[in-house]
């Protein structure tokens, strides 16, 4: 009876071990690094960071900063995806538009985000800088992927649409767009993390009133290493949660669209 019970719970035990083993390993590395440095000013301990994290999550101003940062990221991501799709449609439909816009979009994709943040600090006010910088991170990625997806559209399907006289808009709706669904999802998955990191970096440099990046900057200025580690850990956890939530949402939407 005992071996049967063990076999029944083996999958659950395996999942638990796979989840906690990396946490224990990196926790041990963290503790070892803390003891090796030996100075709280330079390196915070796990206990200090967890204590500071517990203080952060009960502060209303911290939740306001978290909420506004997430709102900025979602706004930038939406603008980047919409702008990337619009530009992809334009450059795919017109050779002249492609010749004019492709160099600029390629340059945006190759330029470090810090350069855009510094320029945005000259052009824009604090709260708009993170949205601007994060939008520029998502836009060229979406544009490039959607453009490649349009170019890879099945020629047989296009020919069939021409034979049945679908017209341009019906062809786009029933042939091109369904073929782009997977490409667009992949582009969004690739850009959402970059969008989040660019937004946080822009918040650190522009320091808007309520922002997670501003909290990072303040922790650095006041030499609060425990707060710096706690906010960094919170940013990482939120980034992971947002990416997983978006991935699950897109999978569900793709599955429902496929059934339809």
User: In this predicted model, what pLDDT tens digit does every residue of 21-78 receive, in sequence order?
Assistant: 888 898 899 999 989 988 888 889 899 999 999 999 899 999 999 999 999 999 999 9
The rounded distance, in Å, linking the Cα atoms of 33 and 31 is 5
221 against 171, higher pLDDT: 221
Mean pLDDT of 72-98: 90
pLDDT for 238 beyond 60: yes
pLDDT for 260 beyond 70: no
The rounded distance, in Å, linking the Cα atoms of 135 and 74 is 10
What pLDDT score does 209 carry? Answer: 86
pLDDT band of 166, cuts 50, 70, 90: low
What pLDDT score does 42 carry? Answer: 86
Q: Which region holds residue 167: left if phi is over 0, alpha if psi is between -120 and 50, else beta?
A: left
pLDDT band of 175, cuts 50, 70, 90: low
What pLDDT score does 259 carry? Answer: 56
Number of domains the chain contains: 1
CA-based nearest residue to 140, from 107, 185, 115, 116: 107
**Residues, the chain, total?**
260
What pLDDT score does 3 carry? Answer: 53
Identify the DSSP state of 42.
T
Q: Which region holds residue 161: left if phi is over 0, alpha if psi is between -120 and 50, else beta?
A: alpha
**Residue 35 included in any domain:** no
**Residue 52 included in any domain:** yes
CA-based nearest residue to 117, from 139, 132, 107: 132
Mean pLDDT of 202-223: 91
What pLDDT score does 161 carry? Answer: 57
Judge whether 161 and 171 are in contact, CB under 8 Å.
Answer: yes
What pLDDT score does 69 carry? Answer: 93
CATH for 100: 1.10.3720.10
In this prediction the pTM is 0.83
**Residue 207 included in any domain:** yes
Could you read off the pLDDT of 104-156 as tens digits, one per residue?
A: 988 888 888 888 898 888 888 778 899 999 999 999 999 988 888 777 765 65
CA-based nearest residue to 192, from 34, 26, 41, 81: 81
**Residue 135 included in any domain:** yes
Cα four-point dihedral sign 127, 203, 220, 122:
negative
What pLDDT score does 158 carry? Answer: 56
Could you read off the pLDDT of 186-212 as tens digits, one per residue?
A: 888 888 888 999 999 999 998 888 899
What pLDDT score does 1 carry? Answer: 46
The rounded distance, in Å, linking the Cα atoms of 201 and 217 is 10
> Which residue segment(s) compose the domain that 119 sits in?
45-259
**Residue 137 included in any domain:** yes
What pLDDT score does 147 carry? Answer: 85
């Amino acid at each position: 009876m005992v071996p049967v019970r063990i076999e029944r719970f083996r999958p659950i035990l395996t999942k638990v071990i796979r989840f906690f083993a990396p946490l224990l390993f990196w926790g041990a590395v963290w503790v070892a690094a803390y003891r090796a440095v030996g100075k709280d000013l330079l390196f915070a301990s796990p206990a200090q960071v967890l204590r500071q994290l517990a203080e952060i999550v009960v502060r209303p101003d911290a939740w306001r900063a978290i909420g506004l940062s997430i709102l900025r990221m979602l706004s930038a991501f939406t603008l980047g995806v919409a702008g990337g799709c619009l530009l992809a449609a334009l450059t795919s439909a017109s050779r002249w538009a492609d010749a004019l816009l492709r160099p600029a979009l390629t340059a945006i994709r190759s330029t470090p985000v810090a350069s855009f943040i510094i320029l945005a600090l000259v052009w824009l006010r604090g709260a708009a800088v993170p949205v601007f910088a994060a939008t520029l991170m998502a836009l060229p990625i979406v544009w490039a992927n959607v453009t490649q997806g349009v170019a890879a559209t099945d020629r047989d399907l296009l020919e069939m649409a021409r034979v049945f006289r679908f017209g341009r808009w019906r062809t786009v709706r029933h042939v091109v767009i369904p073929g782009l669904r997977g490409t667009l999802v992949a582009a969004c998955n690739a850009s959402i993390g970059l969008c989040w990191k660019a937004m946080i970096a822009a918040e650190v440099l522009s320091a808007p009133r309520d922002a997670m990046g501003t909290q990072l900057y303040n922790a650095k200025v006041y030499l609060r290493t425990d707060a710096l580690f706690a906010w960094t850990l919170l940013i990482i956890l939120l980034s992971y949660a947002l990416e997983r939530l978006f991935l699950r949402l897109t999978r569900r939407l793709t599955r429902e669209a496929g059934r339809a």
